[in-house]
Structure 1
Protein backbone atom coordinates (compact mmCIF):
# COMPACT_ATOMS: atom_id res chain seq x y z
CA UNK A 1 0.00 0.00 0.00
CA UNK A 2 1.38 3.41 -0.96
CA UNK A 3 1.52 6.40 1.29
CA UNK A 4 -1.75 8.37 1.75
CA UNK A 5 -2.46 11.13 -0.77
CA UNK A 6 -1.76 14.67 0.44
CA UNK A 7 -5.13 16.46 0.93
CA UNK A 8 -5.96 19.79 -0.67
CA UNK A 9 -5.95 21.46 2.77
CA UNK A 10 -2.20 20.84 3.03
CA UNK A 11 -1.65 23.60 0.44
CA UNK A 12 -2.48 27.30 0.49
CA UNK A 13 -5.02 28.85 -1.87
CA UNK A 14 -3.17 29.97 -4.97
CA UNK A 15 -1.17 26.74 -5.19
CA UNK A 16 -1.69 24.65 -8.34
CA UNK A 17 -1.43 21.48 -6.24
CA UNK A 18 -4.53 22.52 -4.32
CA UNK A 19 -6.40 22.93 -7.63
CA UNK A 20 -5.37 19.42 -8.70
CA UNK A 21 -6.89 18.13 -5.46
CA UNK A 22 -10.29 19.63 -6.15
CA UNK A 23 -10.24 23.30 -5.11
CA UNK A 24 -11.81 25.58 -7.74
CA UNK A 25 -11.42 28.98 -6.12
CA UNK A 26 -10.24 31.84 -8.34
CA UNK A 27 -6.70 31.98 -6.88
CA UNK A 28 -6.15 28.25 -7.43
CA UNK A 29 -7.49 28.46 -11.00
CA UNK A 30 -5.10 31.35 -11.67
CA UNK A 31 -2.22 29.35 -10.22
CA UNK A 32 -2.78 26.29 -12.39
CA UNK A 33 -3.29 28.50 -15.45
CA UNK A 34 0.05 30.18 -14.78
CA UNK A 35 1.67 26.76 -14.34
CA UNK A 36 0.31 25.57 -17.70
CA UNK A 37 1.54 28.72 -19.43
CA UNK A 38 4.98 28.39 -17.86
CA UNK A 39 5.12 24.76 -19.00
CA UNK A 40 4.36 25.80 -22.56
CA UNK A 41 7.04 28.48 -22.39
CA UNK A 42 9.66 26.06 -21.05
CA UNK A 43 8.87 23.49 -23.72
CA UNK A 44 8.99 26.15 -26.42
CA UNK A 45 12.44 27.21 -25.26
CA UNK A 46 13.69 23.62 -25.14
CA UNK A 47 13.75 23.19 -21.36
CA UNK A 48 10.56 21.53 -20.17
CA UNK A 49 9.17 21.23 -16.66
CA UNK A 50 11.56 18.48 -15.52
CA UNK A 51 15.14 18.86 -14.37
CA UNK A 52 17.93 16.73 -12.91
CA UNK A 53 18.18 16.05 -9.18
CA UNK A 54 21.74 17.39 -8.89
CA UNK A 55 21.06 20.83 -7.38
CA UNK A 56 18.35 19.55 -5.07
CA UNK A 57 20.61 16.73 -3.89
CA UNK A 58 23.44 19.13 -3.06
CA UNK A 59 21.06 21.37 -1.11
CA UNK A 60 19.67 18.44 0.90
CA UNK A 61 23.25 17.52 1.80
CA UNK A 62 23.84 21.07 3.03
CA UNK A 63 20.68 20.91 5.16
CA UNK A 64 21.78 17.58 6.63
CA UNK A 65 25.23 18.97 7.36
CA UNK A 66 23.59 21.80 9.27
CA UNK A 67 21.91 19.18 11.47
CA UNK A 68 18.42 19.27 9.95
CA UNK A 69 16.60 15.89 10.22
CA UNK A 70 15.14 14.35 7.09
CA UNK A 71 11.60 14.57 8.50
CA UNK A 72 11.90 18.36 8.80
CA UNK A 73 13.33 18.65 5.30
CA UNK A 74 10.39 16.66 3.90
CA UNK A 75 7.86 18.71 5.88
CA UNK A 76 9.32 22.08 4.81
CA UNK A 77 9.70 21.06 1.14
CA UNK A 78 6.34 19.25 1.02
CA UNK A 79 7.84 16.09 -0.44
CA UNK A 80 7.48 12.44 0.51
CA UNK A 81 10.10 10.01 1.75
CA UNK A 82 10.38 8.25 -1.59
CA UNK A 83 11.03 11.54 -3.41
CA UNK A 84 13.64 12.67 -0.87
CA UNK A 85 15.75 9.52 -1.10
CA UNK A 86 15.41 9.31 -4.87
CA UNK A 87 16.85 12.83 -5.01
CA UNK A 88 19.63 11.94 -2.57
CA UNK A 89 20.57 9.01 -4.79
CA UNK A 90 20.30 11.35 -7.82
CA UNK A 91 17.96 9.02 -9.66
CA UNK A 92 15.77 10.21 -12.53
CA UNK A 93 14.31 13.69 -12.80
CA UNK A 94 12.08 15.93 -10.69
CA UNK A 95 9.75 18.82 -11.46
CA UNK A 96 11.30 22.26 -11.42
CA UNK A 97 8.65 23.28 -8.89
CA UNK A 98 9.82 20.47 -6.58
CA UNK A 99 13.40 21.64 -6.98
CA UNK A 100 12.37 25.21 -6.17
CA UNK A 101 10.63 24.13 -2.93
CA UNK A 102 13.69 22.18 -1.83
CA UNK A 103 16.08 25.03 -2.62
CA UNK A 104 13.85 27.37 -0.60
CA UNK A 105 14.25 25.32 2.59
CA UNK A 106 16.55 27.02 5.11
CA UNK A 107 18.36 25.14 7.88
CA UNK A 108 16.86 25.62 11.32
CA UNK A 109 18.95 26.50 14.36
CA UNK A 110 20.22 23.44 16.18
CA UNK A 111 21.48 22.91 19.71
CA UNK A 112 23.74 20.04 18.69
CA UNK A 113 27.38 21.01 19.44
CA UNK A 114 29.58 21.28 16.35
CA UNK A 115 26.88 19.64 14.23
CA UNK A 116 28.62 20.42 10.94
CA UNK A 117 32.03 19.12 11.98
CA UNK A 118 33.41 15.65 11.36
CA UNK A 119 34.50 13.13 13.97
CA UNK A 120 35.82 9.54 13.61
CA UNK A 121 33.01 7.26 12.44
CA UNK A 122 34.15 4.00 14.03
CA UNK A 123 32.03 4.40 17.16
CA UNK A 124 28.92 5.23 15.15
CA UNK A 125 29.28 2.13 12.98
CA UNK A 126 30.00 -0.10 15.97
CA UNK A 127 26.99 1.16 17.95
CA UNK A 128 24.61 0.50 15.06
CA UNK A 129 26.09 -2.95 14.49
CA UNK A 130 25.73 -3.81 18.19
CA UNK A 131 22.07 -2.78 18.15
CA UNK A 132 21.52 -4.93 15.05
CA UNK A 133 23.16 -7.85 16.86
CA UNK A 134 20.63 -7.30 19.67
CA UNK A 135 17.83 -7.66 17.11
CA UNK A 136 17.00 -4.04 16.22
CA UNK A 137 16.29 -3.85 12.45
CA UNK A 138 17.54 -0.91 10.40
CA UNK A 139 13.97 0.23 9.67
CA UNK A 140 13.20 0.59 13.38
CA UNK A 141 16.50 2.30 14.14
CA UNK A 142 15.87 4.73 11.29
CA UNK A 143 12.34 5.42 12.50
CA UNK A 144 13.55 6.20 16.00
CA UNK A 145 16.14 8.74 14.89
CA UNK A 146 14.23 10.21 11.95
CA UNK A 147 16.32 8.63 9.18
CA UNK A 148 15.63 6.22 6.35
CA UNK A 149 16.65 2.61 6.90
CA UNK A 150 19.06 2.78 3.97
CA UNK A 151 20.98 5.49 5.81
CA UNK A 152 21.35 3.16 8.80
CA UNK A 153 22.37 0.25 6.57
CA UNK A 154 24.94 2.48 4.86
CA UNK A 155 26.53 3.39 8.21
CA UNK A 156 26.45 -0.20 9.49
CA UNK A 157 28.24 -1.58 6.45
CA UNK A 158 31.13 0.86 6.31
CA UNK A 159 34.27 -1.26 6.00
CA UNK A 160 36.58 1.66 6.79
CA UNK A 161 34.52 4.35 8.56
CA UNK A 162 36.80 7.39 8.41
CA UNK A 163 34.47 10.10 9.65
CA UNK A 164 30.83 11.10 10.13
CA UNK A 165 29.10 14.37 10.81
CA UNK A 166 29.02 15.27 14.49
CA UNK A 167 25.22 15.43 14.51
CA UNK A 168 25.01 11.91 13.04
CA UNK A 169 27.30 10.59 15.77
CA UNK A 170 25.23 12.38 18.42
CA UNK A 171 21.96 10.91 17.11
CA UNK A 172 23.39 7.39 17.04
CA UNK A 173 25.01 7.67 20.50
CA UNK A 174 21.71 8.88 21.95
CA UNK A 175 19.83 6.07 20.22
CA UNK A 176 22.29 3.54 21.64
CA UNK A 177 21.80 4.91 25.16
CA UNK A 178 18.04 4.54 24.79
CA UNK A 179 18.11 0.96 23.48
CA UNK A 180 21.18 -0.51 25.20
CA UNK A 181 20.16 -3.82 26.77
CA UNK A 182 16.49 -3.62 25.75
CA UNK A 183 14.77 -6.53 24.01
CA UNK A 184 13.34 -5.44 20.62
CA UNK A 185 10.44 -7.88 20.97
CA UNK A 186 9.30 -6.03 24.10
CA UNK A 187 9.28 -2.68 22.28
CA UNK A 188 7.26 -3.19 19.13
CA UNK A 189 9.56 -5.27 16.92
CA UNK A 190 7.98 -8.56 15.74
CA UNK A 191 9.85 -11.58 17.07
CA UNK A 192 10.59 -13.05 13.64
CA UNK A 193 12.10 -9.77 12.41
CA UNK A 194 14.25 -9.42 15.53
CA UNK A 195 15.48 -13.00 15.15
CA UNK A 196 16.23 -12.50 11.46
CA UNK A 197 18.18 -9.32 12.28
CA UNK A 198 20.22 -11.15 14.91
CA UNK A 199 20.99 -13.97 12.48
CA UNK A 200 22.19 -11.56 9.78
CA UNK A 201 24.35 -9.66 12.29
CA UNK A 202 25.85 -12.90 13.62
CA UNK A 203 26.69 -13.99 10.07
CA UNK A 204 28.68 -10.76 9.67
CA UNK A 205 30.46 -11.23 12.98
CA UNK A 206 28.79 -8.31 14.73
CA UNK A 207 28.59 -8.47 18.53
CA UNK A 208 25.73 -7.16 20.68
CA UNK A 209 25.74 -4.37 23.24
CA UNK A 210 26.54 -6.81 26.06
CA UNK A 211 30.08 -7.16 24.69
CA UNK A 212 30.88 -3.46 24.86
CA UNK A 213 31.33 -0.62 27.33
CA UNK A 214 30.47 2.89 26.16
CA UNK A 215 34.13 3.91 25.76
CA UNK A 216 34.98 0.75 23.81
CA UNK A 217 32.96 1.82 20.75
CA UNK A 218 35.28 4.75 20.02
CA UNK A 219 38.51 2.95 20.92
CA UNK A 220 40.12 1.66 17.69
CA UNK A 221 42.37 -0.67 19.71
CA UNK A 222 39.47 -2.46 21.42
CA UNK A 223 38.37 -5.74 19.85
CA UNK A 224 35.27 -7.43 21.25
CA UNK A 225 35.58 -11.10 22.09
CA UNK A 226 33.92 -13.65 19.84
CA UNK A 227 30.49 -15.08 20.46
CA UNK A 228 32.15 -18.34 21.63
CA UNK A 229 33.65 -16.64 24.68
CA UNK A 230 31.99 -15.41 27.87
CA UNK A 231 30.23 -12.07 27.26
CA UNK A 232 32.06 -9.12 28.73
CA UNK A 233 29.09 -8.14 30.88
CA UNK A 234 29.13 -11.56 32.54
CA UNK A 235 32.80 -11.12 33.39
CA UNK A 236 32.20 -7.59 34.70
CA UNK A 237 29.24 -8.75 36.79
CA UNK A 238 31.27 -11.56 38.34
CA UNK A 239 34.24 -9.27 39.08
CA UNK A 240 32.00 -6.55 40.51
CA UNK A 241 30.30 -9.03 42.83
CA UNK A 242 33.69 -10.26 44.08
CA UNK A 243 34.89 -6.70 44.77
CA UNK A 244 31.67 -5.70 46.51
CA UNK A 245 31.62 -8.76 48.76
CA UNK A 246 35.33 -8.97 49.60
CA UNK A 247 36.23 -5.27 49.75
CA UNK A 248 32.92 -3.69 50.79
CA UNK A 249 32.76 -1.47 47.71
CA UNK A 250 29.50 -0.15 46.30
CA UNK A 251 28.63 -0.40 42.60
CA UNK A 252 30.17 2.91 41.66
CA UNK A 253 33.45 2.11 43.43
CA UNK A 254 33.55 -1.40 41.97
CA UNK A 255 32.94 0.02 38.49
CA UNK A 256 35.82 2.47 38.93
CA UNK A 257 38.11 -0.34 40.08
CA UNK A 258 37.21 -2.47 37.04
CA UNK A 259 37.46 0.49 34.67
CA UNK A 260 33.85 0.71 33.47
CA UNK A 261 30.91 3.00 34.20
CA UNK A 262 28.41 2.36 37.00
CA UNK A 263 25.63 2.05 34.42
CA UNK A 264 27.61 -0.73 32.73
CA UNK A 265 27.76 -2.61 36.04
CA UNK A 266 24.00 -2.03 36.46
CA UNK A 267 23.39 -3.52 33.01
CA UNK A 268 25.77 -6.40 33.77
CA UNK A 269 23.86 -7.32 36.94
CA UNK A 270 20.55 -6.99 35.12
CA UNK A 271 21.68 -9.31 32.31
CA UNK A 272 23.32 -11.76 34.74
CA UNK A 273 21.25 -11.65 37.94
CA UNK A 274 23.08 -14.67 39.35
CA UNK A 275 25.96 -12.29 40.15
CA UNK A 276 23.85 -9.38 41.44
CA UNK A 277 24.45 -8.16 45.00
CA UNK A 278 21.16 -7.22 46.63
CA UNK A 279 22.70 -4.73 49.05
CA UNK A 280 24.46 -2.84 46.23
CA UNK A 281 23.72 0.84 45.83
Structure 2
Protein backbone atom coordinates (compact mmCIF):
# COMPACT_ATOMS: atom_id res chain seq x y z
CA UNK A 1 0.00 0.00 0.00
CA UNK A 2 1.32 3.43 -0.89
CA UNK A 3 1.40 6.36 1.48
CA UNK A 4 -1.33 7.97 -0.61
CA UNK A 5 -3.60 4.92 -0.29
CA UNK A 6 -3.07 4.60 3.46
CA UNK A 7 -3.71 8.29 4.09
CA UNK A 8 -6.83 8.32 1.90
CA UNK A 9 -8.35 5.24 3.50
CA UNK A 10 -7.46 6.37 7.02
CA UNK A 11 -8.88 9.82 6.36
CA UNK A 12 -5.77 11.75 7.38
CA UNK A 13 -3.61 14.27 5.45
CA UNK A 14 -1.14 12.54 3.17
CA UNK A 15 1.55 15.12 4.01
CA UNK A 16 1.25 14.33 7.70
CA UNK A 17 1.74 10.62 7.12
CA UNK A 18 4.53 11.13 4.58
CA UNK A 19 6.46 13.39 6.95
CA UNK A 20 6.20 10.78 9.70
CA UNK A 21 7.22 7.91 7.44
CA UNK A 22 10.19 9.85 6.06
CA UNK A 23 11.35 10.89 9.52
CA UNK A 24 10.73 14.59 9.05
CA UNK A 25 8.59 14.53 12.16
CA UNK A 26 8.91 12.20 15.14
CA UNK A 27 5.35 12.40 16.41
CA UNK A 28 1.88 11.91 14.99
CA UNK A 29 -1.49 12.64 16.54
CA UNK A 30 -2.96 9.76 18.51
CA UNK A 31 -6.19 9.94 16.50
CA UNK A 32 -4.28 9.73 13.25
CA UNK A 33 -2.20 6.82 14.52
CA UNK A 34 -5.29 4.88 15.59
CA UNK A 35 -6.90 5.37 12.19
CA UNK A 36 -3.81 4.01 10.42
CA UNK A 37 -3.53 1.04 12.80
CA UNK A 38 -7.21 0.21 12.21
CA UNK A 39 -6.57 -0.41 8.50
CA UNK A 40 -6.29 -4.03 7.39
CA UNK A 41 -3.12 -4.82 5.41
CA UNK A 42 -3.45 -4.84 1.62
CA UNK A 43 -6.75 -2.97 1.67
CA UNK A 44 -6.95 -1.56 -1.83
CA UNK A 45 -9.58 0.49 -3.61
CA UNK A 46 -10.09 1.52 -7.22
CA UNK A 47 -7.84 4.55 -6.76
CA UNK A 48 -4.92 2.51 -5.42
CA UNK A 49 -1.83 1.71 -7.45
CA UNK A 50 -1.25 -2.03 -7.55
CA UNK A 51 1.59 -4.41 -8.38
CA UNK A 52 0.91 -5.96 -11.81
CA UNK A 53 1.83 -9.59 -10.98
CA UNK A 54 -1.69 -10.95 -10.53
CA UNK A 55 -2.93 -9.16 -13.62
CA UNK A 56 0.03 -10.43 -15.66
CA UNK A 57 -0.71 -14.00 -14.61
CA UNK A 58 -4.40 -13.64 -15.45
CA UNK A 59 -3.84 -12.17 -18.91
CA UNK A 60 -1.12 -14.70 -19.73
CA UNK A 61 -3.35 -17.55 -18.56
CA UNK A 62 -6.08 -16.37 -20.92
CA UNK A 63 -3.58 -16.25 -23.78
CA UNK A 64 -2.61 -19.83 -22.95
CA UNK A 65 -6.16 -21.05 -23.57
CA UNK A 66 -6.55 -19.18 -26.84
CA UNK A 67 -8.02 -15.80 -25.93
CA UNK A 68 -6.61 -12.92 -27.96
CA UNK A 69 -5.63 -9.50 -26.64
CA UNK A 70 -8.67 -8.12 -28.43
CA UNK A 71 -10.99 -10.62 -26.68
CA UNK A 72 -9.55 -9.80 -23.28
CA UNK A 73 -9.62 -6.05 -23.94
CA UNK A 74 -13.29 -6.24 -24.93
CA UNK A 75 -14.21 -8.26 -21.83
CA UNK A 76 -12.27 -5.90 -19.56
CA UNK A 77 -13.30 -2.69 -21.35
CA UNK A 78 -9.64 -1.79 -21.72
CA UNK A 79 -7.53 -0.97 -24.77
CA UNK A 80 -5.71 -3.73 -26.59
CA UNK A 81 -2.45 -1.84 -25.96
CA UNK A 82 -2.94 -2.01 -22.20
CA UNK A 83 -3.72 -5.74 -22.28
CA UNK A 84 -0.68 -6.44 -24.44
CA UNK A 85 1.57 -4.33 -22.21
CA UNK A 86 0.37 -6.22 -19.13
CA UNK A 87 0.91 -9.60 -20.80
CA UNK A 88 4.47 -8.72 -21.77
CA UNK A 89 5.42 -7.25 -18.40
CA UNK A 90 5.71 -3.66 -19.60
CA UNK A 91 3.76 -2.20 -16.67
CA UNK A 92 5.44 -1.70 -13.29
CA UNK A 93 2.16 -0.74 -11.64
CA UNK A 94 -1.54 -0.67 -12.48
CA UNK A 95 -4.48 1.35 -11.24
CA UNK A 96 -7.00 -0.39 -9.05
CA UNK A 97 -9.59 0.07 -11.79
CA UNK A 98 -7.43 -1.74 -14.34
CA UNK A 99 -6.71 -4.58 -11.91
CA UNK A 100 -10.44 -4.98 -11.16
CA UNK A 101 -11.28 -4.94 -14.87
CA UNK A 102 -8.75 -7.67 -15.63
CA UNK A 103 -9.99 -9.76 -12.70
CA UNK A 104 -13.55 -9.50 -14.01
CA UNK A 105 -12.47 -10.46 -17.54
CA UNK A 106 -10.51 -13.42 -16.19
CA UNK A 107 -13.50 -14.65 -14.19
CA UNK A 108 -15.62 -14.61 -17.33
CA UNK A 109 -13.12 -15.96 -19.85
CA UNK A 110 -11.07 -18.46 -17.85
CA UNK A 111 -13.85 -21.06 -18.00
CA UNK A 112 -13.77 -21.09 -21.80
CA UNK A 113 -11.26 -21.74 -24.58
CA UNK A 114 -10.62 -19.00 -27.14
CA UNK A 115 -9.98 -19.40 -30.85
CA UNK A 116 -6.63 -17.61 -31.22
CA UNK A 117 -3.91 -20.08 -32.16
CA UNK A 118 -1.50 -17.12 -32.21
CA UNK A 119 -2.14 -16.50 -28.51
CA UNK A 120 -1.65 -20.18 -27.72
CA UNK A 121 1.67 -20.30 -29.60
CA UNK A 122 2.85 -17.13 -27.89
CA UNK A 123 1.98 -18.54 -24.47
CA UNK A 124 3.67 -21.86 -25.20
CA UNK A 125 6.83 -20.14 -26.41
CA UNK A 126 6.94 -17.90 -23.33
CA UNK A 127 6.02 -20.69 -20.90
CA UNK A 128 2.85 -18.97 -19.70
CA UNK A 129 0.52 -21.16 -17.66
CA UNK A 130 -3.21 -21.53 -18.29
CA UNK A 131 -6.01 -21.05 -15.74
CA UNK A 132 -5.90 -24.70 -14.74
CA UNK A 133 -2.57 -24.08 -13.03
CA UNK A 134 -3.88 -21.31 -10.80
CA UNK A 135 -6.15 -21.24 -7.78
CA UNK A 136 -7.86 -17.98 -6.87
CA UNK A 137 -5.98 -17.93 -3.56
CA UNK A 138 -2.60 -18.35 -5.27
CA UNK A 139 -2.62 -16.29 -8.43
CA UNK A 140 -1.83 -12.99 -6.66
CA UNK A 141 0.77 -14.52 -4.34
CA UNK A 142 4.30 -13.56 -5.47
CA UNK A 143 5.70 -16.47 -3.46
CA UNK A 144 3.72 -19.07 -5.38
CA UNK A 145 5.19 -20.51 -8.56
CA UNK A 146 3.58 -23.71 -9.90
CA UNK A 147 6.20 -26.38 -10.48
CA UNK A 148 6.16 -27.73 -14.04
CA UNK A 149 4.81 -31.28 -14.19
CA UNK A 150 4.16 -33.70 -17.02
CA UNK A 151 0.41 -33.67 -16.49
CA UNK A 152 -1.18 -30.23 -16.57
CA UNK A 153 -2.88 -29.38 -13.33
CA UNK A 154 -6.35 -29.01 -14.81
CA UNK A 155 -6.10 -32.52 -16.32
CA UNK A 156 -5.03 -34.02 -13.01
CA UNK A 157 -7.80 -32.19 -11.14
CA UNK A 158 -10.45 -33.23 -13.66
CA UNK A 159 -9.40 -36.88 -13.62
CA UNK A 160 -9.17 -36.96 -9.81
CA UNK A 161 -12.59 -35.30 -9.61
CA UNK A 162 -14.15 -37.90 -11.91
CA UNK A 163 -12.74 -40.74 -9.80
CA UNK A 164 -13.94 -39.21 -6.52
CA UNK A 165 -17.40 -38.54 -7.98
CA UNK A 166 -17.64 -42.24 -8.86
CA UNK A 167 -16.95 -42.90 -5.19
CA UNK A 168 -19.90 -40.71 -4.19
CA UNK A 169 -18.17 -37.50 -3.12
CA UNK A 170 -19.77 -34.11 -3.80
CA UNK A 171 -17.92 -31.35 -5.66
CA UNK A 172 -17.48 -29.43 -2.40
CA UNK A 173 -15.96 -32.48 -0.70
CA UNK A 174 -13.73 -33.16 -3.70
CA UNK A 175 -12.42 -29.60 -3.75
CA UNK A 176 -11.55 -29.88 -0.06
CA UNK A 177 -9.79 -33.23 -0.55
CA UNK A 178 -7.79 -31.92 -3.50
CA UNK A 179 -6.80 -28.73 -1.70
CA UNK A 180 -8.41 -26.27 -4.11
CA UNK A 181 -11.38 -23.92 -3.96
CA UNK A 182 -14.67 -25.04 -5.48
CA UNK A 183 -14.34 -22.28 -8.09
CA UNK A 184 -10.84 -23.51 -8.96
CA UNK A 185 -12.10 -27.06 -9.40
CA UNK A 186 -15.04 -25.94 -11.54
CA UNK A 187 -12.69 -23.89 -13.72
CA UNK A 188 -10.37 -26.87 -14.22
CA UNK A 189 -13.31 -29.07 -15.21
CA UNK A 190 -14.54 -26.44 -17.67
CA UNK A 191 -11.14 -26.14 -19.35
CA UNK A 192 -10.80 -29.93 -19.49
CA UNK A 193 -14.18 -30.25 -21.23
CA UNK A 194 -13.33 -27.43 -23.65
CA UNK A 195 -10.03 -29.10 -24.57
CA UNK A 196 -11.80 -32.43 -25.18
CA UNK A 197 -14.35 -30.73 -27.44
CA UNK A 198 -11.60 -29.03 -29.44
CA UNK A 199 -9.73 -32.31 -29.86
CA UNK A 200 -12.91 -34.13 -30.95
CA UNK A 201 -13.72 -31.36 -33.45
CA UNK A 202 -10.20 -31.58 -34.91
CA UNK A 203 -10.29 -35.37 -35.21
- Aligned-residue RMSD, C-alpha: 2.3
Aligned residue for 1:65? none
Work out the CA distance in 2 between the residues paired with 1:238 and 1:249.
Answer: 14
Mapped to 2, the partners of 1:270 and 1:153 lie a distance apart of 25
2:121 counterpart of 1:199: yes
Task: Using structure 1 for the length normalisation, give the TM-score.
Answer: 0.48
Q: Give the Å deviation of 1:271.
A: 4.0
Aligned partners of 1:204 and 1:162: how far apart in 2? 19
Q: Is 2:171 the partner of 1:251?
A: yes
Work out the CA distance in 2 between the residues paired with 1:250 and 1:141.
33
Larger Rg: 1
- 1:165: how far off? 1.8
Structure 2 residue aligned with 1:93:
none
2:133 is the alignment partner of 1:211: yes
Residue 162 (structure 1) shift: 5.3
1:181 and 1:210 in contact (8 A); partners too: no
Query: 1:262 corresponds to which residue?
Result: 182
SS of the equivalent of 2:137 reads helix
1:156 is aligned, of 81, 84, 87, to 87
| Number of residue pairs aligned between Structure 1 and Structure 2 | 150
Unaligned runs of 5+ in 1: 1-112, 186-193, 274-281
Per-residue CA deviation, residues 65-101 of structure 1 (Å, 9 max, x unaligned), is xxxxxxxxxxxxxxxxxxxxxxxxxxxxxxxxxxxxx
Contact 1:134–1:198, Cα closer than 8 Å, also in 2: yes
Stretches of structure 2 that go unaligned for 5 or more consecutive residues are: 1-43, 194-203
Residue 120 (structure 1) aligned with residue 44 (structure 2)? no
